[in-house]
Amino acid sequence: MSVQGGSQLFDLKGTNAAVIGGTGVLGGAMASALAGCGATVAILGRNEERGLARVKEIEQAGGRAVYQTADASSRESLVAARDALAKRLGVIDVLINAAGGNRPDATLPPGSDFCKLPIEAWQGVFDLNLVGGVLLPSQVFGESMVAAGRGSIINIASMAGMIPLSRVVAYSAAKAAVINLTKFLAREWARQGVRVNAISPGFFPAEQNKALLFKPDGSYSERGGQIIGHTPMARFGEAHELGGAVVWLAAHRASSFVTGQNIVVDGGFSSVTI
């Protein structure tokens, strides 16, 4: 039995990774982590300006990256992106499904009535996080991976998908569905050489949740203070702290027997009984 050094276990040279949602804070940080370990990274999204900015940042750090326009909610757009990347880079070995988010009209303010939650808002959150967030990209890129007999799909779920948090009921339910779909696909493609796992971040400040966690003066909001008080590490996560988990799951030599798992990165939040 041979022993591989740590640097070899996490070496992604020769690997092509597509990061859908790589124009965002968390997706972009994961793209940078993959590039830092040698992967050629394709940033996929609808915002070309932000996508090219991420590519420039990766290249300035010595990595290799390209931008590819794609709409995760459109099968046609994803197929076109996949085929374009195949010509530019070759087969995609790693797919990061990092697109997603919440909607204000699907969030329940304190004292509001769940029975009046608009069905359109609920469906919109599921379309964003489950259909466009995982289902369509996995079908389109997974098809090529199965044909090639190799690949790693990493879905970005949420700690909220494990714990039914107050107020964000639609988001929590959608992310719970992401975790379930991850396990289904892992079982479905295990013998085809394609591994499927999820990463569930805890609370990581970004533009979409900043107003929920902080007051205008930068101090914690009531909600933010409650979260910090419930988190053993007593702080929010930083985007770069997702890098280790994503590189591990992307690197075949490091995680070749890992599939169907949900890796939680939450500072211990989910370990504390509510």
The span from the CA of 20 to the CA of 100, in Å, is: 10
Q: How many residues does the chain have?
A: 274
| Domains in the chain, number | 1
Domain for residue 221, yes or no?
Answer: no
Domain for residue 217, yes or no?
Answer: no
Written as tens digits, the pLDDT of the chain (274 aa) is: 444 555 699 999 999 999 999 999 999 999 999 999 999 999 999 999 999 999 999 999 999 999 999 999 999 999 999 999 999 999 999 999 999 999 989 988 888 899 999 999 999 999 999 999 999 999 999 999 999 999 999 999 999 999 888 789 999 999 999 999 999 999 999 999 999 999 999 999 887 788 778 889 989 998 899 999 999 999 999 999 999 999 999 999 999 999 999 999 999 999 986 5
Domain for residue 64, yes or no?
Answer: yes
Domain for residue 230, yes or no?
Answer: no
Please state the three-class secondary structure of 217-257 as a single string: CCCECHHHHHHHHHCCCCCCCCHHHHHHHHHHHHCHHHHCC
Q: Which domain holds residue 58?
A: 6-202+237-264
Q: Which of 122, 171, 204, 269 is catalytic?
A: 171
pTM for this model (two decimals): 0.94
| CATH code at position 139 | 3.40.50.720
Domain for residue 51, yes or no?
Answer: yes
Both structure tokens of 89: 């880079």
Domain for residue 83, yes or no?
Answer: yes
Domain for residue 245, yes or no?
Answer: yes
Q: How many other CB atoms are there within 10 angstroms of residue 240's CB atom? A: 13
136 three-class SS = helix
Angle between helices 119-126 and 169-189 (to 10 degrees): 30
Domain for residue 136, yes or no?
Answer: yes
The span from the CA of 174 to the CA of 128, in Å, is: 9
Q: How many other CB atoms are there within 10 angstroms of residue 161's CB atom? A: 24
Both structure tokens of 235: 């702080």
Burial status of residue 65 (CB atoms within 10 A of its CB: 0-12, 13-18, 19 or more): buried
Burial 171-184 (b: 16+ CB within 10 A, else e): bbbbbbbbbebbbe
* Catalytic site includes residue 67: no
